[in-house]
Amino acid sequence: MTNNYWQLKHGFILASASPQRKALLERVRLIPDKIVSPDVCEELLPNELPRRYVQRVAIQKARAVAKQYPNTCVLAADTILAVGRRIIRKATNETEAKNHLLLLSGRKHHVITGLCIITPEGKEIVRVNSTAVILKKLSEKDIQFILNSNEWQHVAGYRIEGIIAAFVKQMCGSYDSVVGLPTYEVVQIMRGIAGT
């Protein structure tokens, strides 16, 4: 697999350690030359709204890596779940994960992904993708089943590609963005960068 179809003339770096993002890029044949995990603070600022938060963090990640590797194409992203203005962060233990599931149960929420691509010339291209998701009303048995899978670990809320899919009642938007990267938007941006 190569980047040849997209005719990327410069190095392409994925500023993320997420295996889901790497797999999504590989699926559309956008293979990073290098994967770098950015070291940035992801703390929520006072009164920061969900869309603004993911946009800011994605930009910070991209800038941190672009500073290390100038004159390359850098892609960074950040994904969160939001219930209204409330941001659902990664659970640190099973109790937190259960509380998240109780909050999301039967309720419409949004999975929001901020995307930042920095071109070899230093131009920043920023997008925010929001997908509405409704889970069925979860029973205690449903919740325990999800928790027992351990798929809640290291993710904000759930892994849409995991067993939670059995409980998704409705989704409006980009499935790939819920996984972690809106591939359609990424491909269109890369087309522009490559001039194809």
| Catalytic machinery residues | 78
CA distance 190 to 89: 30
Judged by DSSP in three states, 108 sits in strand
**Which residues does 159 contact at the CB level (< 8 Å), separation at least 6?**
20, 151
Residue with tokens 């963005």: 177
Q: Identify whether the C-beta of residue 194 lies closer than 8 Å to the C-beta of residue 9.
A: yes
